[in-house]
Amino acid sequence: MSLADYPFTREAASRVEETGYSLEGLLEDPNPQPRLSRLVRKRATDRVLGAVRGEIPDGPAHPLAELLSYPLARVMVSCLDDDLLARRYALAEAKLAGKKMRRESLQDLLLLARDLDVHPQTGQNGLRVHFSDYLKAAARMRSPGWKLVNRSLERGWVTLTDRELARLLEERARDRIGRGLPLSVPAEICERLREDLTRIAEELSAKRAEEKVDLGEVTEDAFPPCIRGFLAQVASGANLAHSARFALTTFLLAVGMDVDEVVGVFNTSPDFDEERTRYQVEHISGKGGTRYKPPSCATMATYGNCPGEERLCRWVNHPLSYYERKVKRGGGG
């Protein structure tokens, strides 16, 4: 196992410390180590750009540059101070590590697990983790196979395959990488990185424009505050709570969007899972026999999904009534 493949581990952080290199030193101009400095800076930029594009490419075969580029990439993400970028970055780094973890031996996975505060057991009963570790790592995994009720659980221990352990560690890595972001970075450091940061910021805003929620013929201006709020959250890359997701999906289908368009609306979340989203939207749209209706204002309020701050809200009892009234009045007028 190469530590450079897992630069977020405590072990890697101490290795970086041992090398004696500092961030300030690497960014010095003129630089006493120009080649290394260039490599580190290039790789750090590639890491962050990779996160914007959706995948960090494998690094060059230079373990020291690989190790040092990780803290610098975190600094770059922090200078840009953008929530969506920070989440995308943590996800992309974790995916890169996950790809490598799946190629590791069980022995190396166990070492990584310890560093990530997961404590698996091996023995006659196979590979197992305690359910408390399991729940921490699997919290974001929503497919039925990961639900604790669907796992073999014995006296608090959950049985796993090596591959599943690697997947859990990927999630723990994502938590570790995202922790503390954005860091507080002195302005002069961000200034020294300005050229790279400008490039990243440009790509990030182009990506945002590309992914902008497109509602086609639907009159978005006539949407009630609850639905506009959900869309704003989705556009910023946040994951909606289940009740909000349901309300948004049923509403958009009811105002005439088709399944593809609704799936597209959710395609801004950093961990967008197209297959799963399509399955849910199709199900809600009536593919399974029942077409679900959007919840009423009273139900929305019960789930804490009603901001209700507009005058028209006082006169309606359903988000669709709000929409219809507003469309009749001529959109946002």
Q: Which residues of this chain interact with ligand SF4, rule CB under 6 A?
A: 224-226, 297, 300, 306-308, 313, 316, 319, 322
Closest approach of Cβ 228 to ligand SF4, in Å?
9
Give the H or E element holding residue 160. Answer: strand 157-160
Question: What are the Cα distances from residue 321, in Å, to 87, 187, 217, 313, 329?
Answer: 36, 50, 19, 9, 12
Closest approach of Cβ 298 to ligand SF4, in Å?
8
- State which residue, 182 or 225, has the beta carbon closest to ligand SF4: 225
- State which residue, 237 or 294, has the beta carbon closest to ligand SF4: 294
Please give the angle made by the CA atoms of 166, 169 and 175, to the nearest 5 degrees: 150
- State which residue, 125 or 317, has the beta carbon closest to ligand SF4: 317
Please give the angle made by the CA atoms of 129, 132 and 138, to the nearest 5 degrees: 80
- State which residue, 208 or 228, has the beta carbon closest to ligand SF4: 228
In this structure, how many other beta carbons lie within 10 angstroms of the beta carbon of residue 227? 24
Closest approach of Cβ 20 to ligand SF4, in Å?
57
Closest approach of Cβ 222 to ligand SF4, in Å?
11
Closest approach of Cβ 254 to ligand SF4, in Å?
13
> What is the Cα–Cα distance from 26 to 40, expressed in whole angstroms?
8
> For strand 127-130 and strand 157-160, is the pairing parallel, antiparallel, or unpaired?
antiparallel
Is residue 98 within 8 A of residue 173, CB to CB? The reply is: yes
- State which residue, 31 or 299, has the beta carbon closest to ligand SF4: 299
